[in-house]
Structure 1
Amino acid sequence: MKNVVIVGAGLAGLTCARRLQVEGVTCQIIEASDGVGGRVRTDVVDGFRLDRGFQVLLTAYPEVQRWLDLKALDLQEFWPGAKVWNGSDWATVADPRRRWTDLFRSLSADIGSAGDKLKVVQWALQAAQGDETSHWTQPETTALAALQRRGFSTQMINAFWRPWLSGIFLEDELSTSSRMLEFVFGMFARGGTAVPAKGMGEIPRQLAGGLPEGGITLNERATAVEPGRVWTESRGAWRADHIVLALEPGAAAKLGVEDMPARWNGARCLYFAVEGRQERSPLLMLNGTSKGIVNHAAWMDAIAPDYAPANRSLLMAGIKASVQGDETDIEHAARAELAQWFGEREVAGWKLLRHSWVPQALPMRQQLNRIETGPIAPGIWRCGDACSTASIQGAMESGRRTAEHILRWV
C-alpha cells in the first residue's frame, strides 16, 4: 500500500487524512506550528476562550455533517437574527421561521421596510429548499449588485446586509462574488449558527482525534518539496508516494512548487473581559449606522457560557475590514463607540484581553469557481479553502475531494 504525506494540519489536511484513512491508506501529517487547526484555533487567556478571529460554525455545511460529531462538540447556537444599532437605540431583525415570538419586533424595527423584511423571509424559504450546489452555476456579479437586483432598499443594505456580510466576507464593499453570497445565505437558511462549547479549536481537535496515534507531527516545518520527498528542518527527507500541500496560497511557492495567486482578506477583533455575568443577548449585534470602526459585536458567554470564567463575561468586538493603524488608537476608537452602545461607565471597566489580528484570514473571492483537483506536479497535490468556497465547508470539501482523487491512483 502506498503512503501519503500531508503538509499542513488545518481543516483541509485533516479531512484529507481522515478520508484516506477510511480506505486504509497510510498517511502522515507534518505541521510547522505547535497545534492543529491552521486558522481555526482557540487560545485560553486568563480563563477566557479566545478564537483567533471571530468565527462561527454553520451546522448545515455538508462536510460538517459528514465528518464531525456535532453532539460531542456540544454546540452552542446564536439566536437567529441580529440586533442592529441605529445610532441611538437597538432594533431587532430576527428569523420568524425559527422564533415566531420575534416576528412583531422584526416587522416594527426601523431597519428597512416591511417589504425588505418579507424579501428576506421569501429568500430564506427558497434557499432552504434549494440545491446546495446551485451557487456554482448561477450568473456571477458582486454581492452588492445581487442584493440590489433582489430589490432590497439602500437603507436595508447599509443598515443590515452590509455589516452582516462584512463580518462574513471580511470586506466592506460587498465586492465578493454573488455566488459566495448565495452559498453562505443558503447555509444560514438551512441550519444553525454555532460555536463549540469549548471554542472553535475543538473542530480540528476532533478531526485529529480520529487519526491514528503518531499520525501528526507538530513543530516540523517543511523547507522544500519534490516528487517523492518532503524536506523538513529537523528530520530531513520524508519519503512519500503522494504529497498533499494543505497550505495557504503563497506558501507552496516557498517550497519550490507552482502556487496559486495569494490575495487575502484580514480579520480584526477585540476581546474584552467584563466583570459580572448579567443576562446578555445571544444575538449578534451589528453597527447599522455606516459610521465608526466597529462592525459587529457579540457577548460570547451568552452564546457559550464556557467562553468566560464564572461571574465574568466576554465581549467580542469585530472591527471593519478597512480599518488600519495603531492598535492603541483602534482600541480607543472602539471603546468610544461601544460606550454609546453599552454606556460609558460600563465600558470604562472593561479589560482588553487581546487585539486579534489575522492578516490572512480568508482567501479573497471576487470570482468563485471551484478549482478542479489534480496533481500540480507528479505525485504532488494541493487542497484548501482557496480551491473552493472560502469557508470551513470549502476547506473540508477540498481535503476530501483531493483524497478521493489520490485514491484513484493508489
Structure 2
Amino acid sequence: MRAAFRPGRRACGRGGGFMNGGAAGFTNSVLVEKVILVLLLLGFLASIGLVLAPFVVALLFGSIIAIAGWPLRARLTKLGIGVGTTATLLLLGVVALVAVPILAFAPRLTVQVATVFDYARDWAANAPRPPLWLHDLPLVGDRVFAWWADAVGAQAPLRNLLEPYAEPIRRFLVGAATGVGESLLQLILALAIATMFWARGDVLGFTLVRALRRLGGDRMAGLAVLTANAVRGVFYGVVGTALAQAAAMGLGLYIAGVPGALPLAFVTLLLAVSQIGGPFVNLVWVGAAYYLYHAGQTGLPLWFMIAWGIMVGMLDNVLKPMLIGATMDLPLTLIIVGVFGGFLAFGFLGLFIGPVLIAIAYTLLVAWMAGPFDAPESP
C-alpha cells in the first residue's frame, strides 16, 4: 500500500511544480504588461513633448507675462470690468507698449546696432586727445587730463586688452538685435497664451492649487503662490528696471538730438538686463554727451544729456530694490547665470525667461529648506 501511494506523491509533487511554474509565468506576464504600459505612457508623453517643443518659449514667456500682469488684472476685475474685457485691455496694452515698437523697429535694428558699434570702435581706435580746458577744472582737472591721455594713447594697456574682444562683442550685439526680429512669432504666440491665462486664470489657478494640494498637501499647494511671487519679483525688478532704463535712455537721446537713439537704447537694454553691464550704461550717455560737445552743442542739449544720463544711471539703484527686494532676495550671480543661460538656450526672449526660471528654482529650494508654510487659496 505504501509503495502504491509513493508514485502518487511523486506525481503530486510534479503537479505542484507545474502549478508554481504557472504562477511564475503569470507574474512575469503581468510584469511585462506593466512595462509595456509604462513604455507606452512614456512614448505618449514624449510625443506630447515633441508637439509642444516649438512652443516652449512662447508658453514660458506667455506664462511670465500673464503672472506679471495678474495684479493689474485683479484690480480691473474688482472695478467691475468683465474678465473678457480685462484680458482684451491687457492684451492691447502689451501690444502697444511692446509688440508695436518691435514691429516698427526690428527690421532696421540689426543694421543700426552694427553701424553704431562700428562707429564706436572707429572712434576708440582714433580717440581724440583731451581738451586743454580740462587743466582749468579745480581739484580733478590735471588728473582727468592725464587719465584721458593715457587711455587714448597708442600703448594704453586697457585699450590693448579690450581690442581682441571687439569682434566677439560686435557679433553678440548684432546677434541679439537679429534675435528681436526672429522672436516676433514667439512673441505673438506668447501674447495669445497670456490672454488666455488672463481670461481663464481664476479656474486655472484654483485647479492648480487643488491638484498640488492633492499631490502633496498644503505644503506643495503653497509652492504655486511662491512661484508666482518669484516670477513677479524678478520680472519687475530685473526686466522692468532694464526696460525703464532703456526707454528713458532712448527718450533722452532723442530729445538731445543724438543720432542712433534706438540702437543705443537697445544696447542700454542689453547692458542693464545682463546685470554685469550696469556700470557700462553710463558709457552710453557719456559717449552721447561727448558727441554733442564735439558737434559744438555745448549749451542746453549737452547739459540736458549729462543730467538725464545721471538720472538714468541711478534708476537701477532706485527701482530694483523697490521692485525685487520686497519679494525675494535673489543672489546677483544667479541672475547673471539666468540671463546668459536663457539667451543661449532660448534666444532673445531667453534674456527674460532665464532669470525667472532661476528665481523659481531658487525660491522653491529656499522654501523647501525653511520648513512648512501656509498655502493661500490661489496664486
What is the TM-score normalised by the length of structure 1? Answer: 0.29
Structure with higher helix content: 2
Q: Which has the larger radius of gyration?
A: 2
What is the TM-score normalised by the length of structure 2? Answer: 0.30
Q: Which has the higher contact order (CA 8 A, sep 6+)?
A: 1
